């Protein structure tokens, strides 16, 4: 049938199972928005307050479901406002398709009003991007974009569509989405045999799991693998939830803000098994001192990650779930070893903890959220101390329950992601744990939450400072607090109420319990402003450039 480019876009979105997109209109996407009006009963459009909020919401939707998140913006500033959200998705391997409008073909390259080369700008932060210059290529391009976003290691793809392409008419023929097969062609029997030999010979194995295990939905296989091997398990920030946080074998996060047991185990193990992880600098710290006594087995879907940061001894390239399945079939059960007993002793000797002094403590707030949600909530975070406290003190049991900007560290990420995750998973309680600095970057998305009655809860850990940067200044810059003391008079309760949300101001544990109880019972957006001390710091912390066993604790 003959359709306009805008209608073809709608039909292609329907082909891909897209039921919701996040966006903001403008001149160069008017044809697309006209089509959205016609398709409004099939594709829900969420009008965010800012294009960056749209990108973060699409990201949160994708992380909460594993499906592709979709965002839409006009040309020029609309497109560039997506860039931070696209980069966030790229760094954390999140499947996203960003659709932008552009000026008509005849005006491209002439510095036309609201024209930017968005494909050039986003080339380093997308898996692939396109500009469509022929309406006959539009459907195929949209289909390729969704395929690329999901195949192999996921990531964002951008499709830029000049305005006249969306108005032109061509033949459209519906197609079923191309099946995305798991990456298994590079997994050889020799690889599996070599890995099994390593595992059999090891006396001190240690499993380090990253976000790739979540993308592969490999939770069950990972648990079986660890329990058969009788090996302790640590996680990167992005890997939280891939292995149950309450499991006996779990030692917590590894790296700069990792637990002392995790960092000691990495230093003393004789075999480090990295699963869906990329050895980021926040995990490894001083590279020459990382896992100095260990052979390293790296299992990952992306060959570009092998030997990129840390030299491995053996590696297997392929889908993590499939690799673990094949290993589990042939792995002989190990006995509970002296190594495991030593790691358990470290867990008893060096537990995560904090000093209580009668004041409202951020760690206690996170523990109360865990207790009052019975560990069943999905937690999004902003970036900074709030992010690490959430990661440390909420015990994530399942994949896709911790949603945070890891690789890029995007302040202002959490609120948009929280909205996207709540719309994706309406049956779940979604809570955004924020710092006051991060929250103010994109607090305008409260208007979005209220407009669509998205019942999120925002818990602000308000210390009146840019906490993580100030902590570094305190520890490593001789307490020279340059531009990190906010000294703002913002009333977050009144701000919430101005947007139409409920707001609570709390200064102690009892007030928090009462406010959070009300928030859980209220089917509307809620902001809880929690006053904490500016000197509450994140521990443990590894100084920059130090070996990861050189952990600074609160003591």
CA 121 centroid distance within chain: 22
Q: Where are the beta strands (DSSP E) in 69-212?
A: 69-73, 96-102, 128-131, 156-162, 169-171, 205-209
- Helix (H) / strand (E) containing 36: helix 30-38
Residues 11, 51, 221, 305: which is the catalytic one?
51
For the question of residue 163 being annotated catalytic, the response is yes
Distance CA 72, CA 79 (A): 8
Coil, helix or strand for 253? strand
Quote the DSSP letter at residue 466.
-
Distance CA 309, CA 296 (A): 12
For the question of residue 411 being annotated catalytic, the response is no
Output Rg (C-alpha) for the chain, integer angstroms.
Answer: 24
Residues 115, 238, 468, 549: which is the catalytic one?
468
Nearest CA-CA partner of 28 in 129, 170, 130, 164: 164
Nearest CA-CA partner of 285 in 547, 103, 65: 547
Residues 38, 42, 113, 554: which is the catalytic one?
113
For the question of residue 113 being annotated catalytic, the response is yes
For residue 56 the two structure tokens come to: 């973060």
Residues 11, 91, 127, 163: which is the catalytic one?
163
Nearest CA-CA partner of 83 in 123, 29, 24: 123
Distance CA 11, CA 289 (A): 54
Do 354 and 328 meet the contact criterion of CB atoms below 8 Å apart?
Answer: no
For the question of residue 51 being annotated catalytic, the response is yes
Residues 14, 15, 67, 114: which is the catalytic one?
114
CA atoms within 13 A on the CB side of 27: 10
Burial class (CB in 10 A: 0-12, 13-18, 19+), 223: middle
Distance CA 235, CA 264 (A): 14
Catalytic residue positions? 51, 113-114, 163, 468
């Amino acid at each position: 049938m003959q359709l306009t480019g805008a209608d073809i876009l709608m039909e292609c979105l329907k082909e891909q199972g897209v039921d919701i997109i996040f966006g903001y209109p403008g001149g160069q996407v008017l044809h697309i928005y006209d089509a959205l009006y016609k398709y409004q009963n099939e594709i829900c459009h969420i009008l965010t307050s800012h294009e960056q909020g749209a990108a973060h919401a699409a990201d949160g939707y994708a992380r909460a479901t594993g499906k592709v998140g979709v965002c839409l913006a006009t040309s020029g500033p609309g497109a560039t406002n997506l860039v931070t959200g696209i980069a966030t998705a790229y760094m954390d391997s999140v499947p996203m398709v960003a659709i932008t409008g552009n000026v008509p073909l005849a005006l491209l390259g002439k510095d036309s009003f609201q024209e930017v080369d968005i494909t050039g700008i986003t080339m380093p932060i997308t898996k692939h991007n396109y500009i469509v210059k022929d309406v006959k290529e539009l459907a195929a391009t949209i289909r390729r974009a969704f395929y690329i976003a999901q195949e192999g290691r996921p990531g964002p793809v951008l499709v830029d569509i000049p305005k006249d392409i969306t108005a032109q008419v061509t033949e459209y023929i519906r197609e079923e989405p191309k099946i995305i097969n798991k990456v298994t062609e590079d997994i050889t029997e020799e690889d599996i045999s070599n890995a099994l030999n390593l595992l059999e010979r090891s006396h001190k194995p240690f499993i380090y799991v990253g976000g790739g295990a979540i993308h592969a939905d490999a939770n069950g296989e990972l648990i079986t693998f660890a329990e058969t091997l009788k090996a302790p398990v640590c996680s990167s920030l992005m890997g939280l939830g891939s292995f149950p946080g309450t499991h006996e074998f779990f030692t917590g996060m590894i790296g700069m803000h990792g637990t002392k047991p995790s960092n000691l185990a990495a230093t003393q193990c004789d075999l480090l098994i990295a699963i869906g992880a990329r050895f980021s600098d926040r995990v490894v710290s001083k590279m020459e001192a990382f896992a100095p006594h260990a052979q390293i087995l790296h299992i990952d879907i992306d060959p570009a990650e092998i030997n990129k940061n840390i030299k491995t001894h053996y590696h297997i390239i392929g889908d993590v779930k499939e690799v673990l399945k094949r290993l589990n079939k042939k792995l002989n059960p190990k006995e509970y070893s002296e190594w495991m007993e030593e790691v358990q002793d470290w867990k008893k000797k060096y537990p995560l903890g904090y000093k209580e002094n009668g004041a409202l403590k951020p760690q206690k707030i996170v523990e109360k959220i865990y207790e009052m949600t019975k560990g069943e909530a999905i937690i999004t975070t902003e970036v900074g101390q709030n992010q690490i406290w959430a990661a440390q003190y909420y015990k994530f049991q399942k994949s896709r329950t911790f949603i945070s900007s890891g690789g890029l560290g995007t302040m202002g990420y959490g609120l948009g992601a929280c909205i996207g995750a709540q719309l994706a998973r309406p049956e779940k309680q979604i809570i955004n744990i924020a710092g006051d600095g991060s929250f103010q970057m994109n607090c305008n998305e409260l208007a979005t939450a209220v407009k669509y009655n998205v019942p999120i809860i925002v818990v602000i850990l308000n210390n009146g400072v840019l906490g993580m940067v100030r902590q570094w200044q305190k520890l490593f810059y001789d307490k020279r607090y340059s531009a990190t003391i906010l000294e703002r008079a913002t009333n977050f309760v009144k701000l919430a109420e101005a947007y139409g949300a409920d707001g609570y101001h709390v200064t102690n544990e009892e007030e928090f319990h009462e406010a959070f109880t009300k928030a859980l019972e209220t089917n509307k957006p809620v902001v809880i402003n929690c006053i904490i001390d500016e000197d509450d710091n994140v521990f443990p912390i590894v100084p920059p450039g130090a070996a990861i066993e050189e952990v600074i604790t609160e003591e």
